[in-house]
Amino acid sequence: MLDELRKIVTEVSKSPDLRTALDIIAQRVRSVLDVSVCSVYVLAEQTDEHGLTEPTLILQATEGLNPDMVGQVHFGLEEGLVGLVARRAELINLENAALHPAFKFVDNIGEEPYFGFLGVPIIHRGEVLGVLVVQTRECRRFSDDQESFVVTLATQLASAIRHARASGEFDQTVDQSDLELAFSARGLPGSPGVVFGTAVVLDSGLSLESVIDQPVNDISAEKDALHTAINAVRDEFEQLKNDFAGITGSQDENLLFDAFIMMLKAGSFVRSIEQRIEQGQWAQAALRDAVAEHAAVFEQMSDAYLSERAQDIRDLGTRILHKLRAEKAEDQQWPENIVLVGRDLSASHFAEIPTEKLVGVVSTTGSGSSHLAILARALGIPAAMGVADLPLNRLSHKEVVVDGYRGIVTVSPRGSLREELTRLVEEEAELTEELAGLRDKPARTLDGVDMAMHVNIGLLSDMAPSQTVGAEGIGLYRTEVPFQIRTQFPSEEEQTRIYREALETFHDKPVVLRTLDVGGDKPLSYFPIREDNPFLGWRGIRLVLDHPEIFLTQLRAMLKASKGLNNLHILLPMISAVDELEQAKGFIHQALEEVSEEIGFVAPPRIGAMIEVPAAVYQTKNLAARCDFISIGTNDLTQYLLAIDRNNERVASRYDALHPAVIQAIANVHRDAANQQCEVAVCGELAGDPLGAVLLLGLKTDSLSMSAGSLPRIKWVIRNITQSDAEDLLKQALECERASDVRALLTAALEARGLGGLIRAGR
């Protein structure tokens, strides 16, 4: 049964639409379980004659019942066993359904009553979407294995239905109405703002599996692209063959290269790619499917040598894909206003598009605290994260509207919705203009208390916007970003140049350079780390302490870059023990001595530890006693305190930096640091959240560091509130038991001061 299950799951995941997926499940389940009937009921809102809507289960696919009844049989949630399964959201397995009080006999549906009954709810993230039912003529109780088989398939159906709902296809399937692709999908807030743009969908990486479907009109151009790519790969193999023959004198490798070269000459492999292009698919997806088909043939061979050739075919396909991608990038026509859309996007994807045209970002994965969202905030463009239900294959070049406040993406809006969104975008533009006027004004509260406003940056290109918004220093330079966009570790000279530019640009202001913080969700392609629990693994300071050569190179570069400027602050990430801080300080002193010997006197930097791990919260006193400043990283602190992955959209709605536990921890850190007369900065995203900034003002944080895009908004908040009000709100927030209460309290406070436009779309 496991084999069957695997096959059905693959078929369902590949089915082109919901209708096909439903039919496949009904047919295959009926035959595998050898039952009389398999049916799928899907929950939809039905409007009655009084115009009231009712959730109704509608028969959408069946094998065994009268097929004419598809779309005709309806159950309310109070009706029959099917309704009961949906209402209880749990499976019901009955040997004789007719004996159950909820049993309801439906006429016309099939010839006779059925007795054996197994109904399984189709659930996606807690929401019941339908019911999968199997029935037998005879009395029969389904076994545990059969139950799990049906439950597994119901989970497959859940994602197919969710997907179809998001794309509007659901309405066509269930209501038979003729809707165009126009819909909204909800994810999580990523970066504030509302914007119209054209979707540019990028794959998550260079793998064949990640290639999306894309219909094409110009078939011959697509075929030309394919042949150019294939010829280029064939030339490379010819070259490799010659090189190898020269080195090894062996014939074995030549045989392999010859086999590849043969495959790339007109043959069944190339022909099968062409056929898919002729059916209207672009070359990359045609290649993906042809490779899968050919690899599957080899995989099924019993001869071990031959079955391993499947991997060769995939490698060959990946090589061709590289070439196709390179060609595509060269003659890509970019729309004027790009909304970048994809799954698992990262900083490196920004390099693939002209960033001056980028107006918004949408990711099907991640949350507001993912690094992609942080990057969008740095660029001051709206972002919606974790919008899991977007049909990426069908979005390319569609008009989309991103509401980054709520994390909502609207595709091809029309009518009154379009008018409403246009109004919001206009109001947003007014707000941005007003905020720009704050550039040279201080972040001073109504009762005269100043807050130092710093920016978080990751690339040198972030510095221009930082200056435009009037930042008073760099509060966090994520130095891993320049490492991430390179193909190898940057040299000491290269790093010195990068850091010097940052230190010089803000020469009379503090510049906090954080040492390399890779690991977790910040990979380096040239230093792969494979771990079961990367967020609890070799991250940040742990990694560089184990690699002094990487650490010392970076520290030397920072110190050299600071010569004569004296504004260098070195910040150490992921500190969880006093020993780590002391060891790191030891390396800083070693580097300082070396550099001073080489280039003359270099002023000692100010040294700070990040408080972003719960252990550090409880050691603030000891850490602060050994530091010049501490900086609270609320992103990781929230993640580790709440045990919620900051990038996982499944749990993202529970990730909240306003959680009372997080606020208590931040308050304790402030108290313990103040007792040591140690300065406190906050550089996590809470500092750039208008609600969070009020609390931090109440806590008398010394400086707030945030994305350049957030800075004017926070300045506006600070300029419109008094320190004493902020302290009062903090006191009330510390009494709250729920994040939602804290949020309601602070939202009301901002609305009362006319600052609601900072936390939602519209004035």
Positions touching Mg ion (CB under 5 A) are: 612, 633, 636
Instruction: Choose, by CB under 6 A, the member of 130, 187, 407, 633 that binds ligand PEP.
Output: 633
Cβ closest to ligand PEP, residue 636 vs residue 702: 636
Residue 478 binding: pick among ligand PEP, Mg ion, none (C-beta 5-8 Å cut-off by kind): ligand PEP
Residues of span 472-511 touching ligand PEP by CB under 6 A: 476, 478
> Is the C-alpha dihedral spanning 16, 19, 25, 30 positive or negative?
negative
From the list Mg ion, ligand PEP, none, which binds 689 (C-beta under 5 to 8 Å, kind-based)?
A: none
- CA of 29: how far to CAs of 65, 71, 94, 553, in Å? 14, 20, 18, 61
* 3-state secondary structure (DSSP) of residue 6: helix
Size of the site for ligand PEP (CB under 6 A): 10
CA distances from 91 to 34, 58, 187 (A): 19, 18, 29
For Mg ion, which residue has the nearest CB? 636
The item of ligand PEP, Mg ion, none sharing an interface with residue 672, based on CB under 5 to 8 Å by kind, is none
- Minimum CB separation of residue 3 from ligand PEP in Å reads 43
289 binds ligand PEP (CB under 6 A): no
The answer to whether 38 is a known catalytic residue is no
Q: Determine, following the binding rule CB under 6 A, whether residue 684 of this chain makes contact with ligand PEP.
A: yes
Stretch that binds ligand PEP, among 392-400, 441-449, 630-638, 723-731 (CB under 6 A): 630-638
Compute the least distance from the CB of residue 303 to ligand PEP, in Å. Answer: 50
Q: Which of 453, 644, 683, 704 binds ligand PEP (CB under 6 A)?
A: 683
Residue ranges in 509-538 that form contacts with ligand PEP under rule CB under 6 A: 517
In angstroms, the first-to-last Cα distance of the chain is: 58
Tokens standing for 74?
A: 């309806």
Structure tokens at 369: 């605290």
Spatial separation of the C-alpha atoms in residues 670 and 630, rounded to whole Å: 10
Closest by CA to 665, choosing from 623, 701, 700, 617, is: 617
Please report the beta strands in 168-262, taking only residues with DSSP state E, as ranges in sequence order. 183-186, 188-191, 194-202
Binding to ligand PEP by residue 380, rule CB under 6 A? Answer: no
Site for ligand PEP in 580-619 (CB under 6 A): 612
Q: Is residue 190 a contact residue for ligand PEP (CB under 6 A)?
A: no
Convert 627-639 to b/e letters by CB count within 10 Å (16 or more is b): bebbbbbbbbbbb
Q: How far is the CB of 449 from ligand PEP (least distance, A)?
A: 24
Single out the residue of 623, 609, 747 nearest to residue 681, CA to CA: 609
Query: Is 454 marked active-site?
Result: no
In the beta sheet, which residues pair with residue 399? 198
| Active-site choice (38, 627, 678, 683) | 683
Binding-site partner at residue 684 among Mg ion, ligand PEP, none, CB < 5 to 8 Å by type: ligand PEP
The listed partner (ligand PEP, Mg ion, none) that binds 184, CB under 5 to 8 Å by sort, is none
By C-alpha distance, which of 584, 622, 731, 611 is closest to 680? 611
186 Cβ neighbours under 8 A, 6+ residues apart? 387, 406, 407, 408
Give the active site residue among 163, 349, 371, 670: 371
* C-alpha closest to that of 397 among 195, 200, 202, 211: 200
Binding segment toward ligand PEP, per CB under 6 A, in 58-66, 328-336, 634-642, 740-748: 634-642
* 634 binds ligand PEP, rule: CB under 6 A: yes
Based on the shown chain and the rule CB under 6 A, indicate whether residue 146 belongs to the binding site for ligand PEP: no
What does the binding site for ligand PEP look like in residue numbers (CB under 6 A)?
Answer: 476, 478, 517, 612, 633-636, 683-684
- Which sequence positions are flagged as catalytic? 371, 683
